[in-house]
Amino acid sequence: MAVLVFVEVGEGKVRKSSLEAVAYAHLMGGGVTAIALGTVAASELESLGKYGAQKVLHVADSKLDQPVIQAYASVLAKAMQDENADVLVLANSSLATPVGAKVAIKAKGSFASNVVELPSTTSGFVVKRSIYTGKAFSMVEMKNQKKVIVLKKNAAEAKEVGGTAQIVPYSVALSDVDFATKITATEKASGDILLPEAEIVVSGGRGLKGPEHWGILEDLAKALHAATGCSKPVSDMNWRPHHEHVGQTGVKVAPQLYIAIGISGAIQHLAGVNSSKCIVVINKDPEAPFFKAADYGIVGDAFDVLPKLTEAVKSMK
Amino acid sequence: MKILVCISHVPDTTSKINFTDGGTKFDTNGVQFIIGPYDDYALARAIELKESIAGTTVTVLNVGLGDTEPTIRKALAIGADDAIRVNAEPTDSFFVASQIAANAQGYDLILMGRESIDYNGGVVHAMVGEMLGMPSLSPVMKLDIEGTKVKMSREIEGGKESVEANLPLVAGCQEPIAEWKIPNMRGIMSARTKPLKVVEATSSDKSVITQKYELPAPKGAVKMISADNVAELVNLLKTEAKVL
């Protein structure tokens, strides 16, 4: 089964989630071709070979340095055809997910997003999807010959398997329609670790009593190389920016380690963190519902526990 | 301007999720259904646009069986002018997008939430855009209309992007695009008599079939650590959980 993998490039680098997608495609067996769009160094693309790509199509068109969804979809649909790929694999992102959906329509394929495991092919082609915001899973049979799969974070481990990839220049004729949406400005929180991709997240809630107390949380985050998050009340009160809001209607995270400080654990907050590998809850209320969803818990005051925890992390290193 | 707002009928965010019939059916027992929270933002923005741009009408569309009508009436009470219900079970993104596209002729702006909170596909807007040959964008946090031009702000990983496009357009919405609106008594009264048209689904073969549902494995018991011994926590995270 020939698999095409979309490799997303951010600031000239291949995103880690795309390495997971290449590793996933490799584990499916069969030939793996990756495709990257826009300006990116050859060395970055060559490294995809280590994760299982045999060939990397590179569309070195600077117009594609901007993540224009429609244009990306046109390129990928054509590449799927040219490469005779049965399956297109993408890692979930604000760019990749809509691109995948559009390719599925163009290719008359079956589509599934939020896929958490390798497909089972013993009877049909069945994928496991995360649904109800992480509260359940569905087993979905993809019936059409062409298939587009969008992976949830951690669907496969980005493991090096050795190997080298051949880089092949590739181009697709694009029209004005592909650029009908114009990106006029991009604002990025610079220097921070991106919350959706972070391996460790430190989140604060109302228990921190005010935005002026976030320093102790940031100290811990810094010691752990973690991203910072917050609960919905905290972003609603403008203590922290909206893009830090973790929960059902905010960012859903899936880090290795999630540390919640002064967050009681409303079901809507849990929905945003239930894909985390390990959850630590620090709360002065021993009855806080979050403890039921935690792996480790400390009953204590944030202002007492946080500085001690930061010191303990620092002395570990 | 004609605005179409597509709404999902989903379990309230506090619902406990369960399945019956050997994991093949969603257990609606004790579950409260609501307008999808993201769809509610889309609806609120549509009503604001209707209030600020003369001659604007708002139609709501739902793909669902008869039990979704109270949810549709609520959207009418919030201020939509009329409604369409496509009489079919919303089984997957492609099927729902096909039904929306089949009923979306003549609308200038098609709004919906960034995703439904049941199946979380997050792609119906992109599929509808592709089917109708319109640009689509999601998740949109700000949407203003100047003539035929639409100025939007979209959330991206760790930041946001400003985007412009022309009508007609499809947008998947999220906060803070508008504040949720609560229906008032007058709205609730008038919603009863607003037109709600029921149409049958276009026959559409399913490209995906949900075979069954599963719940996550239950979580093990929490291990409590004394606040005086945080070094022990760091040690466990390193040696037992292996996450540091």
pLDDT digits (tens, 9 = 90+) for B212-222: 999 988 888 89
Residue B127 lies in a domain: yes
Whether the Cβ atoms of residue B103 and residue B61 lie closer than 8 Å to each other:
yes
Residues in chain B: 244
User: Looking at residue B70, which CATH number applies to its domain?
Assistant: 3.40.50.620
Domains and CATH numbers, chain A: 3-179 (3.40.50.620), 195-316 (3.40.50.1220)
User: Residue written as tokens 């979580």?
Assistant: B219
Model confidence at A316: pLDDT above 90: no
The reported pLDDT for the residue numbered A257 is: 96
Average pLDDT value for residue range B24-36: 95
Is A242 within 8 Å of B19 when comparing Cβ atoms?
A: no
Determine phi and psi for A68, rounding to 5 degrees. Answer: -85, 110
| Residue A172 forms contact with B (CB below 8 Å) | no
Confidence category of residue A191, pLDDT binned at 50, 70, 90: low
* Nearest beta carbon to residue B227 from set A131, A248, A299: A299
Residue B241 lies in a domain: no
The reported pLDDT for the residue numbered A190 is: 56
| Six token digits for residue A12 | 């000239």
The closest alpha carbon to A75, from A190, A209, A169, belongs to A169
Is A139 within 8 Å of B165 when comparing Cβ atoms?
A: no
Could you give the count of Cα atoms lying within 13 Å of A33 in the half-sphere of its Cβ? 22
Confidence category of residue A249, pLDDT binned at 50, 70, 90: confident
Residue B89 lies in a domain: yes
Residue B87 lies in a domain: yes
Model confidence at A201: pLDDT above 70: yes
ipTM of the complex: 0.93
Residue B35 lies in a domain: yes
Average pLDDT, chain B: 95
Residue B232 lies in a domain: no
Angle at A230 between CA A229 and CA A231, to 5 degrees: 145
d(CA A51, CA A22): 6
Number of domains in chain B: 1
Percentage of chain A lying above the pLDDT 90 cut: 81
d(CA A302, CA A65): 44
Is A257 within 8 Å of B244 when comparing Cβ atoms?
A: yes
The reported pLDDT for the residue numbered A265 is: 94
* DSSP strand pairing (B109-113 vs B169-173): parallel
* Nearest beta carbon to residue A94 from set B136, B157, B214: B157
pLDDT tens sequence across B78-104: 999 999 999 999 999 999 999 999 999
Average pLDDT value for residue range A64-91: 96
**In a mutagenesis test of the A interface, which of B232, B233, B238, B240 is the best target, namely the one with the most A β-carbons within 10 Å?**
B233
Confidence category of residue B38, pLDDT binned at 50, 70, 90: very high
**Total-model pTM:** 0.90
Confidence category of residue B29, pLDDT binned at 50, 70, 90: very high
Whether the Cβ atoms of residue B171 and residue B145 lie closer than 8 Å to each other:
no
Model confidence at A230: pLDDT above 70: yes
Q: How many helices (H) and strands (E) does chain B have?
A: 6, 15
Is A136 within 8 Å of B230 when comparing Cβ atoms?
A: no
What do you get for the CA distance between the two ends of chain B, in Å? Answer: 55
Average pLDDT value for residue range A259-264: 97
Average pLDDT value for residue range A289-307: 95
* Nearest beta carbon to residue A144 from set B117, B207, B225: B207
Closest-CA residue of B relative to A305 is B227
The reported pLDDT for the residue numbered A243 is: 84
d(CA A20, CA A34): 12
d(CA B102, CA B98): 6
The reported pLDDT for the residue numbered A102 is: 98
pLDDT tens sequence across A33-77: 999 999 999 899 999 999 999 999 999 999 999 999 999 999 999
Average pLDDT, chain A: 93
Residue B161 lies in a domain: yes
Is B210 within 8 Å of A111 when comparing Cβ atoms?
A: no
Model confidence at B168: pLDDT above 60: yes
The reported pLDDT for the residue numbered B217 is: 85
**Crossing angle for the helix pair A96-106 and B93-102, to the nearest 10 degrees:** 70
d(CA A312, CA B234): 7
**In a mutagenesis test of the A interface, which of B16, B125, B130, B173 is the best target, namely the one with the most A β-carbons within 10 Å?**
B130
The reported pLDDT for the residue numbered A237 is: 95
d(CA B95, CA B201): 9
Residue B21 lies in a domain: yes
Percentage of chain A lying above the pLDDT 70 cut: 98
Q: By mean pLDDT, which of A239-248, B40-49, B127-136 is the weakest? A: A239-248
pLDDT tens sequence across A105-145: 999 999 999 999 999 999 899 999 999 988 899 999 999 99
* Nearest beta carbon to residue A97 from set B17, B122, B164: B122
Task: Name the helix (H) or strand (E) containing A222.
Answer: helix A214-224
The reported pLDDT for the residue numbered A210 is: 95
Neighbour-count burial of A183, counting CB atoms closer than 10 A to its CB (0-12 exposed, 13-18 middle, 19+ buried): middle
Is A257 within 8 Å of B137 when comparing Cβ atoms?
A: no
Domain of B166 in residue numbering reads as 2-218
Is B158 within 8 Å of A180 when comparing Cβ atoms?
A: no
